[in-house]
Structure 1
Amino acid sequence: MTRESKTATNKPAELLDLQEALSLDRAQVKDFHKRYLNAGLATMMELLNFDKMFVRAEGVSVWDNQGREYLDFLGGYGALNLGHNHPKVFAALQQVQALPNILQASLGVLAGALAHNLARITPGKLQRSFFCNSGAEAVEGAIKLARAATNRTGIIHCQGSFHGKTMGALSVTGREKYRKPFAPLLPDCQAVPFGDLDALEKALQPRQAAAFIVEPIQGEGGINVPPPGYLKKARELCKRYGTLFIADEVQTGLGRTGYMFACEAENVEPDIICLAKSLGGGVVPAGAYITTDEIWKKAYGGMEKALLHTSTFGGNTVACAAALATIQVIYEENLVEQAREKGAYFLTRLKELQERFPLLKEVRGRGLMIGLEFNQPGSLASKVTFGLAGKLAEEYTGSLVAGELLNNYGIITAYTLNNPNVIRLEPPLCVTRDQIDRVVAALEDILQRHRSFMSMATSGVKTILKSLTQRE
């Protein structure tokens, strides 16, 4: 396309309308992604046969353009607690379609109602909300709030953590692969081992940290559950040293772990809590942080400070309507209890597999936030697969298992970003026991057929070679 056609006032002939976009075939979609989006990611998805075209979704199920049904046990990285396309969320959006969606010269009716509801369901004295669009934005806002409220600059975070990829959130994210290309990051950020109270106290002792930010269960770190009592003691240490305690519940919140918020498992009351992902019902981007009245006033109290941190789309009518409906559905359908009961059942079944198959190193998690970690291969596997197995093991072991589940069993999963040898199982909270049993049976079959990593890697190489020779 020429520069003239890109800047012309008349519509260029090459532009696609919605109906034309919906009619694109698989080859065209791949071409557009490689040409206009992330070519490397598109190639990786293609090699693992993860570039299928899904055309319909409901609850836990999605269907491809060949009519095949798949079970979604990835769940939008925890964004689909309600499942795909929940009718009550869409009904809520229809109710507000005539209202102004973005109008800053007013006080949003639904923003006020949502803030009221969040103050009622969050732990302790959390009261005041700031609305944004994503988990990373919520973390950015929480960091700024902590600095402004304490007049300190330091932020303590955990090794293996994941809080987002914007600049501030990345500064407290614990994997060097994602941090190094963008250095230098936010100064005065210090990492401590997850679950290590002695290390945390040592970092707190200089009294320079504005906040300690922690995931109650590390998601991208590999579904890491802290030692019993860690969060409660960490909260006490923060209070002792005048440091705010930020609970990043972006992935764990709103019922995922069998509690409305994962920090409630230890009766922890954070100073700030970050939410996103499932807050929008899996339909609309919605994020928030919630803090106490006291902390909010220290940072943003009064008209002079009221505009220090704002967001154009934060608290828009559509997002708030979706979030209001989401909270209602969680309670009406008893999803928190469902996550607790079905998660316990799922973990029991998976640990039975761990006892039988050495390739499955560890099963861990809480509620319906579960990670499966696989053992590393020996040198023989790399030799047999001409070195490719070693590279796959280093970064994509989880994707080999996920590829088997997707292509042979119709089950969607993915690996965790900070530990690619772990695949996550985070289905919608409405998942049934029969659907859980189907996943367990598939994993059992895979582990039975691939009792070593070499077998798994060889199968993965075959999938890659097939994808290279059979382009659609």
Structure 2
Amino acid sequence: YVSMAARGPWIITTKGAVLHDNGGYGMLGFGHVPEPIIAAMTKPQVMANVMTPSFAQLKLSKALAREIGQTHDGGCPFSHFVAMNSGSESVSVATRIADVNAKILTDEGGRHAGKSVKKMSLSGGFHGRTGRPAMFSDSCRGSYGKYLASFRTEELLTVEPNDIGDLETHFAKADTEGYFIEALFIEPVMGEGNPGVAITPEFYIAARELTKKHGSVLLVDSIQAGLRSTGYLSVIDYPGFQNLEAPDMETYSKALNAGQYPLSILAMTPGASELYRKGIYGNTMTANPRAMDIGTAVLDMVTPEIRKNIVERGEEFVEKLKALSVELEGAITNVEGTGLLFSCELDPRFKAYGTDSLEEFMRMKGIGVVHGGENSLRFTPHFQVTSEEVDLIIDQVRNAVLKGPQAGQA
């Protein structure tokens, strides 16, 4: 369909159809055309050289420092924030900083002098589609390896999510075989490979300890999970993480830019920020003041009631999808979810995406949804979603399974 107008979670198409939108890849936390965001985006702004300091930069930095660490024992652990464009770009900057660290440690005289360098992320992990972020993204490696020559020599070590033994084995192997793991990238809640699966505090503790011991950089990629999964932007404010040591770096984007204007943030601890070297990165639209005004407006909109609704409606969705799985006797094989980032995996007799899929069928019946994982429907509703809307979506999932197409059927 082609959209003509939208407001909140609702879209009107050029044909006059009405859809409830749950498929914006996590960006539209406040729905379409949120008035405070539009007001921030349209006010007069100096854009002559956006890389110079601005009041918008100061306001967003203060807003981020207030938001991050508000439930954490140590408060906000990040001393520096870098504002970039898309989420993938903030990860690109993070990879440059990890690269600096790798060179220091593997150069002559370094702790890992002369060793080859490898990357590590989670099985099914996703960190962007540009340059080095793509090389850390296991969820897309099938296509990249098939078509891109640059991936012939790129070796990515992958760890099963929440498998501490697997993580320990990989770091032990690096020591015995003599290579250096430059960085471990993890999503606190997976957005692509297995949408809705959350990292446990125990796994995170092991990741933090092993990366510090080895000398690796630890990046938490909260681009899709930030705000959407627990109501908090940073992993350090998640339940069970409030007394844990922060990662070296953390990235945010989708919900923070409200789906209205490209903005991503790379947050750095003092140690990570000290690794940055002048000349290793630059961008015409870095620290865009208009984008940063939007980020500040989004954080101002996140109230205790919004945070509570994200958690409670997320629990309601998962509970009702699991009940639907029982009712439909095997059509839904698994349900995963953390807050308002959740998915239901379909039996192979159903297609999650493409022509004659349940994704397509549900859109035609008025529910905007996207696919994720191997064969799952992925949902990212707006933050103020109601129980009535929950029931609407569950009813349409049921309808799609019972009346929609099955794989191989026209």
Q: Which range, TM-score by smaller chain? A: 0.7 to 0.9
Uncovered stretches (5+) of structure 1, i.e. residues with no partner: 1-51, 378-391, 462-472
Residue 198 of structure 2 corresponds to residue 198 of structure 1: no
Residue 241 of structure 1 and its aligned partner are, at CA, apart by 2.5
1:432 to 371, 383, 386: 386
Residue 443 of structure 1 and its aligned partner are, at CA, apart by 1.5
The aligned amino acid for 1:292 is T
Counterpart of 1:456 in structure 2 is: 406
The correspondence of residues 169-180 of structure 1 with structure 2, limited to 5 A, is 169-174=133-138, 175-180=140-145
Residue 270 of structure 2 corresponds to residue 320 of structure 1: no
Structure-2-length-normalised TM-score:
0.85
Q: Give the structure with higher Rg (CA).
A: 1
Q: Do the aligned residues in 1 keep the contact of 2:356 with 2:406 (CA within 8 Å)?
A: no
Q: Do the aligned residues in 2 keep the contact of 1:342 with 1:367 (CA within 8 Å)?
A: yes
Structure-1-length-normalised TM-score:
0.75
2:99 to 128, 147, 154: 147
The aligned amino acid for 2:385 is V
Q: Do the aligned residues in 2 keep the contact of 1:164 with 1:173 (CA within 8 Å)?
A: yes
> Secondary structure in 1 aligned to 2:302?
helix
CA distance in 1 between partners of 2:315 and 2:50 (Å): 45
Q: Do the aligned residues in 2 keep the contact of 1:102 with 1:317 (CA within 8 Å)?
A: no
> Secondary structure in 2 aligned to 1:223?
coil
Identical pairs, percent: 23
Residue 188 of structure 1 and its aligned partner are, at CA, apart by 5.5
CA shift in 2, pair 1:334/1:165, >3 Å: same
Residue 245 of structure 1 and its aligned partner are, at CA, apart by 1.5
CA offsets 1:268-315 (integer angstroms, 9 cap, x no match): 422100111122122101011101122211x12xxxx33432221121
Residue 373 of structure 1 and its aligned partner are, at CA, apart by 0.3
> Secondary structure in 1 aligned to 2:184?
strand
Residue 238 of structure 2 corresponds to residue 261 of structure 1: no
CA distance in 1 between partners of 2:51 and 2:87 (Å): 26
2:18 to 69, 73, 77: 69
**Which aligned runs of 4 or more in structure 1 are off by greater than 4 angstroms?**
none
Q: Do the aligned residues in 1 keep the contact of 2:184 with 2:219 (CA within 8 Å)?
A: yes
The aligned amino acid for 2:197 is V
CA offsets 1:401-426 (integer angstroms, 9 cap, x no match): 11121112x0000111xx24111011
> Secondary structure in 2 aligned to 1:70?
strand
1:407 to 349, 353, 364: 364
CA shift in 2, pair 1:104/1:321, >3 Å: closer
How many residue pairs end up in the alignment?
378
CA distance in 1 between partners of 2:382 and 2:141 (Å): 31
Residue 458 of structure 1 and its aligned partner are, at CA, apart by 6.1
Residue 203 of structure 2 corresponds to residue 230 of structure 1: yes
CA shift in 2, pair 1:422/1:321, >3 Å: same
Counterpart of 1:103 in structure 2 is: 49
CA distance in 1 between partners of 2:378 and 2:356 (Å): 10
Q: Do the aligned residues in 2 keep the contact of 1:132 with 1:314 (CA within 8 Å)?
A: yes
CA distance in 2 between partners of 1:370 and 1:317 (Å): 33
Residue 327 of structure 2 corresponds to residue 339 of structure 1: no
Residue 246 of structure 1 and its aligned partner are, at CA, apart by 0.6
Residue 343 of structure 1 and its aligned partner are, at CA, apart by 0.6
The aligned amino acid for 1:177 is G
Counterpart of 1:88 in structure 2 is: 36
Q: Do the aligned residues in 2 keep the contact of 1:259 with 1:265 (CA within 8 Å)?
A: no
Counterpart of 1:241 in structure 2 is: 214
The aligned amino acid for 1:146 is A
Q: Do the aligned residues in 2 keep the contact of 1:213 with 1:245 (CA within 8 Å)?
A: yes
Counterpart of 2:86 in structure 1 is: 134
Q: Do the aligned residues in 2 keep the contact of 1:374 with 1:398 (CA within 8 Å)?
A: no
Q: Do the aligned residues in 2 keep the contact of 1:172 with 1:191 (CA within 8 Å)?
A: no
